[in-house]
Structures are given as structure tokens and as C-alpha cells.
Amino acid sequence: MSEPRVSIHGQWSSRWIFILAATGSAVGLGNIWKFPYITGENGGGAFVLVYLACIACIGIPIMMAEIMLGRRGRQNPINTMHTLAQESGASRHWRLLGWSGVVAGLLILSFYSVIAGWALSYIVKTASGTFEGADGDAVSAVFGDMLAGPGGLLFWHTVFILMTMAVVARGVKSGLEKAVQFLMPALFVILLVMVGYAATTGAFSQGLKFLFNPDFSKLTADGVLVAMGHAFFTLSLGMGAIMIYGSYLPHKASIASTTFYIAGADTLVALLAGMAIFPIIFANGLEPGAGPGLVFVTLPIAFGQMDGGLIIGTLFFVLLTFAAWSSSISLIEPAVTWLVENKGLSRAKTCVVFGAMTWLLGIGTVLSFNHWADYKLFDKTFFDLLDYLTTNIMLPLGGLFIALFAGWVLSRADSREELQMDDGLGYRVWLFLVKFVAPLAVIVVFVKAIGLI
């Protein structure tokens, strides 16, 4: 390629802004909500070690590949895959990979917004003292009442969608950049405050021991597969978000070092969340393996009983909202750029179209917790079905085909040029991981997720 392509949407002001943006995309409910409870369910330290190994061998190689494809194409994921396949002499059907990412992002945002709405709701509940002195039954009742009321869920879902659209409509520099420049530093500051508080609970060393002292007798084969799956999903791979963010990356920036920074920051947030949460859990005699209810049921019990719990609890749910917000703006960006590039609409009009679409689809998730709870397809509610389709099928397949295209279709000369690497050890290790190790691991996770093993 004689002259690097230029995205019509602009580019990040610097590599560090891209790192903040991509980290914001990766850091979300999975880090603050899911990572602590799956660590608790799978024995702690041994699970964390396997998770870190999977980040290195699966997550980083595929992320490098997705950023590389995005920057080389400089378009939305659909057009990028069409262009790169054409240049490589490959089938035009590779553009379906782009379509899969765009559709997955919209589907995920439709229910992600509802769950993020829970966090928004809990900011108000915690700050108003709802959980002060509340026992387990009272907190469970608050959570149950929230889910049973579609009006409240719809309100917070609407607020969160509007928050997301307000950022995306303003474009790369005025919207995305300014948002991540505020959200990501604020997220880290709140996390550090939470960890600082956890250090005063008297159970900090117990929390650290649980998180970092490996006991492999507690790790099962299922736990290893959970670690593999989470390492892949936590980096926002396979949904087009990292690809479109990569298309805004300055040409001179190193993809390899940038990816390591992003993966490191994402992992640090997950570990800090564990360091903040587990000491609070242990100090209050609660169960670390409490499952998905850890954040919305178990932690509020602790916040309600501890000194300063109103402030710490409110900060925690602000943190959870910020993490969700930074992810949500990346989920819809691929779809927005496709409509802007292909139909010539303004970003504002495009955001209205896709914002309304995801909001309407989100109503199905809202109702699946109450009025539609008994209506099931394949024994799954509307929410469960969307979650299963995206998380267990679309994202693994997206990541798999990204790895296959980068490793087997794109020429070595093209990938070396975009990665700015010579044919040395570093490039050969990446190529081996992206051609063989990462695809095999994703296939295993995919097969496990759909219940074939």
C-alpha cells in the first residue's frame, strides 16, 4: 500500500488517547461486576493465574490482529473487511465478519444498557440511604422490586441510552476523546479510593491472599474454560469496537506496545476491583462466590452495615456506571460509522436511528425480568437469548475469524508493514499465536459455551 488510508471520521489526537479509548471499551461491567464473582466461584488465585495466561496467549494476539485490520482498512468493520479481502484476493464474504461485529454490538448495547441502568438506579438508592442497616432479606427485596417494576427499568435504560448517544453524536474528537479523557482517569481514581478503603477493613490481607495465593486444588476444568472465555470477552474482541477504534489510530503508533498497555490496564482494573471488593466481603462475613448477585445484592448488605458505607457504596455504583458508559460508546460506534460512510447521514441523525433501535430492543430485556419472565424460547427469556447469542456465539466466531483472516489471509508482508515489525522473533511468536493457539482456544471456548463438551 503506497499511501496509508485516512478515516473520514478523523483520528485520535495521540496514541495515549487511543489507549484510554480502547481501555474504556474493554473495561466495563465484565471487570467490575463479573470478574470478582467468577473469581470467587472458581477458587481465587489459581483462577487469576490462568486468566492472566489466557490474556497473554489469546487476548493480546487477537487484539493486535483486530487493531491491525482496523487501521489498515480505515473504515467501518463491514467496509474494512470488504476492502482488505478484495486486496488479498479473498472471498467478498469476509465482509460478513464486519456485519457480525456491527450487529453484535447493537444487540449487546440493547441489554447492556438495561443492566447499566441498574447501576444508575443503585447510585440513587445507595446515596439516599436505602441500604443503611439493611439485612440480606431487605436488600434482596429491593433488588427484586426493582426488577419487577418495568417502569423504573425503562426509565434508567432510557437515561443510559441518551448518555451514550450524547457522546457518540459528537464524533471522535469532540465526543469520544473528551469522554474517555474524563471517564477513564475518574474510574481509576474511584477504584483506588475503594482499594484504600478496603485496606482499612481489617480483612485486606485475607482479600489479597484469596486473590493472589493460588490453590490449584480449587480450580476445575470448567474454571479453566471460564478463565479462557473471560480473557477473550473482557477485551471487547469480536464485536467491531476495537476494529473501528483501531481505524482512528495514528499510523506511526506501535500496535504491539499499544495493545500491551490496553490489556495491562484492563487487567489492572479487574484486579483492583477484586482488591476493593473481596476485603469488604470477608470483613462482613459474606460469601465471595455469591455469583451474579455479588454486586447488586451481597455488596449492598456490606455497604449498609459499614461505617461510611453510604459514601463508599455510592462511589462504587458511580464507578460501575462509568465503566459501563465507556464501553457502551464503543458498542454503537461501528454501526454509526457504517451508516455515515454508506448512506451519507450525519452522526447526529445516525445516532437517533440506532439509539432508537437499541432502545426499542432493550424494552424486550426490561420485560424479560417481569411481564415476559414466563415466555421462553429454547428455555431462555428474551434477555437470556440475546446474551447467549452474542456472548456464546457471535463474539467467539468474530474473534476466531479475525484471527484466521489476520493469520492466514492477510499476507505476511502486509501484516508486518501494519504492525511495524520485521520478520524477527516477536512477529513470529505473534503469528504462531494468532494462526494456531488463539483460534484453537476460541474454538474450545465456543464448543463449551454451546454445550457440546
pLDDT digits (tens), the chain, 453 positions: 445 678 888 889 888 999 999 998 988 878 887 888 888 888 888 999 999 999 999 999 999 999 999 999 999 999 999 999 999 999 999 999 999 999 999 999 999 999 999 999 999 999 999 999 888 889 989 999 999 999 999 999 999 999 999 999 988 778 888 888 888 899 888 889 989 988 998 999 999 998 998 888 888 888 888 888 888 778 888 889 999 999 999 988 999 999 999 999 999 999 998 898 889 888 888 888 776 677 888 889 888 888 888 999 999 999 899 989 989 999 999 999 999 999 988 999 999 999 999 999 999 999 999 999 999 998 999 999 998 898 888 988 999 999 999 999 999 999 999 999 999 999 999 999 999 999 998 898 888 877 766
Q: What is the predicted pLDDT for the residue at 29?
A: 78
- Mark residue 378 as left, alpha or beta (left: phi above 0; alpha: psi -120 to 50; beta: remaining): left
Whether residue 184 contacts residue 23, with contact meaning beta carbons closer than 8 Å, is answered with: yes
Question: In this predicted structure, what is the pLDDT of residue 214?
Answer: 87
The burial of 10, by beta-carbon neighbours within 10 Å (0-12 exposed, 13-18 middle, 19 or more buried), is given as middle
**CATH top class, domain 15-449:** mainly alpha
Q: Write down the pLDDT at residue 452.
A: 67
Report yes or no on whether pTM surpasses 0.85. yes
Parse the chain into domains and list their residue ranges.
15-449
Q: Where is 356: in which H helix or E strand?
A: helix 347-368
**Do 121 and 146 contact (CB within 8 A), yes or no?**
yes
Whether the Cβ atoms of residue 73 and residue 84 lie closer than 8 Å to each other: yes
377 forms beta bridges with 380
- Please report the pLDDT score of residue 433 as a whole number: 96
List CB contacts of 8: < 8 A, sequence separation 6 or more: 340, 341
What per-residue confidence (pLDDT) applies to 453? 61
